[in-house]
């Protein structure tokens, strides 16, 4: 007999899951269309690396492809292989480039390596010399000091008339390091550097802007934009209202208990109650990606004096109290009327009532980390576009 045999005939795994995640694919595709509109005449790709920012590469990839996306960016070749099954005629760019032994994957699955160094460039030259023409892209560093050919290396490559005919890049790209800070002078400096690169590779598409860069204006758009976090409902620019909410995370209340003034809560007794309280013990912890730095107290790694995380239930924001543990978090529900809350109810961890980036700020991090850190225990439900 299996666990399923004990469930009522009409039971739904999602409805009884200890921790669950709702992903609104209609909101996701609306956000992609919004970013495409903001990109003006430029084509608009979709960045789906890290399992589509933690929300599911398969379902998100299918939805974005059906919405019209035909250019995708992944981080590693394995993600590209997975996506190819759901985006049959899309261009799929692999941002980490290529390593020896991966060549067959790029050819068999028609993936485009983004070459990031002289070493990768030499490897790819040898590969296409042996196996024939295959598209690639070039990453150029315009000030990030992360991945990419230097400006000098890129310009020399553009002017190299001896490069083999089988070497045929279809895209040259760079990345803004402070695009989420519109007033940063470095944005204009990187733009001017990339304009030189784009001009050197005349006739080849250029791409500079991820989500934040799209909001900087037409000059930053070039031929292709690459929105990521904005698609998934996160803030592209600090403090700017995000697009539609895509993900809602919830966790079930296991127990509601009472505690008295002066009692302490959770590991280390770092939180002391100042009033008689009702506490909801909720089935989510840092093993589920609910960061320990969201704890209500006792976490020296969180700077800035923030008070910790909040949940939402029955129209009320409820604070985390004490340290978050591996599988459990304690919320103070004293201010929620007793008749409006019970064991088995779900607390919203982030979603329409608790914005993703509010949670991130409370944890001393960014929305990207909250999404990509979601644990494997979340039971998922996808809401598909009509």
- Residue pair 275/334 in contact (Cβ under 8 Å)? The answer is yes
Strands, DSSP E only, in 91-201? 91-94, 111-115, 134-139, 167-173
Strands, DSSP E only, in 4-80? 19-24, 43-44, 46-47, 71-74
* Distance separating alpha carbons of residues 113 and 116, to the nearest angstrom: 9
| Burial group, residue 190, by CB count within 10 angstroms (0-12, 13-18, 19+) | buried
Radius of gyration of the chain (CA): 24
3-state secondary structure of 278: strand
* Distance separating alpha carbons of residues 248 and 354, to the nearest angstrom: 9
* Distance separating alpha carbons of residues 330 and 296, to the nearest angstrom: 9
Instruction: Look up residue 269 and give its DSSP letter.
Output: G
Residue 210 gets the label, from left (phi > 0), alpha (psi -120 to 50) or beta, of beta
**What H or E segment, with its residue span, contains residue 185?**
helix 185-200
Give the distance, in angstroms, between the CA of residue 1 and the centroid of all CA atoms in the same chain: 39
**Catalytic site positions:** 49, 267
**CA 386-62-222 angle, 5° bins:** 105
Give the CA distances from residue 213 to residues 143, 326, 351, in Å, rounded to whole numbers and listed in that order. Answer: 15, 37, 25
Instruction: Look up residue 275 and give its DSSP letter.
Output: S
């Amino acid at each position: 007999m299996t666990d399923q045999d004990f469930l009522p005939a009409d039971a739904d795994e999602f409805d009884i899951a200890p921790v669950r995640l709702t992903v609104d694919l209609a909101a996701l595709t609306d956000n992609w269309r919004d970013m495409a509109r903001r990109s003006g005449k430029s084509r608009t790709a979709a960045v789906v690396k890290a399992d589509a920012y933690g929300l599911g590469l398969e379902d998100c990839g299918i939805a974005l492809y059906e919405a019209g996306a035909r250019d995708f960016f992944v981080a590693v070749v394995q993600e590209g292989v997975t996506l190819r099954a759901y985006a049959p005629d899309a261009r799929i760019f692999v941002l980490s480039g290529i390593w020896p032994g991966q060549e067959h994957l790029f050819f068999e699955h028609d993936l485009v390596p983004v070459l990031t160094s002289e070493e990768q460039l030499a490897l790819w030259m040898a590969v296409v010399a042996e196996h024939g023409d295959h598209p690639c892209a070039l990453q150029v560093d315009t000030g990030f000091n992360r991945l990419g050919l230097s400006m000098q290396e890129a310009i020399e490559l553009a002017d190299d008339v001896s490069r083999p005919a089988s070497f045929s890049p279809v895209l040259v790209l760079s990345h803004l390091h402070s695009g989420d800070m519109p007033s940063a002078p470095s944005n204009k400096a990187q733009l001017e550097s990339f304009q030189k690169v784009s001009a050197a590779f005349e006739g080849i598409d250029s791409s500079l802007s991820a989500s934040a860069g799209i909001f900087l204006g037409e000059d930053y758009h070039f031929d292709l934009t690459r929105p990521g976090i904005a698609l998934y409902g996160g803030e592209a620019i600090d403090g700017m209202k995000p697009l539609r909410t895509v993900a809602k995370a919830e966790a079930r209340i296991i127990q509601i208990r009472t505690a008295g003034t002066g009692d302490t809560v959770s590991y280390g007794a770092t939180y002391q109650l100042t009033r008689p309280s009702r506490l909801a013990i909720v089935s989510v912890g840092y093993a589920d990606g609910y960061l320990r730095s969201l704890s209500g107290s006792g976490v020296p790694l969180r700077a800035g004096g923030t008070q910790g995380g909040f949940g939402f239930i029955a129209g009320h924001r409820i604070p985390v109290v004490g340290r978050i543990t591996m599988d459990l978090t304690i919320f103070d529900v004293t201010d929620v009327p007793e008749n409006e809350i019970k064991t088995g109810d779900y607390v919203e961890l982030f979603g329409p009532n608790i914005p993703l980036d509010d949670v991130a700020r409370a944890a001393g991090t960014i929305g990207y980390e909250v999404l990509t850190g979601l644990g494997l225990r979340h039971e998922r439900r996808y809401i598909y576009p009509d």
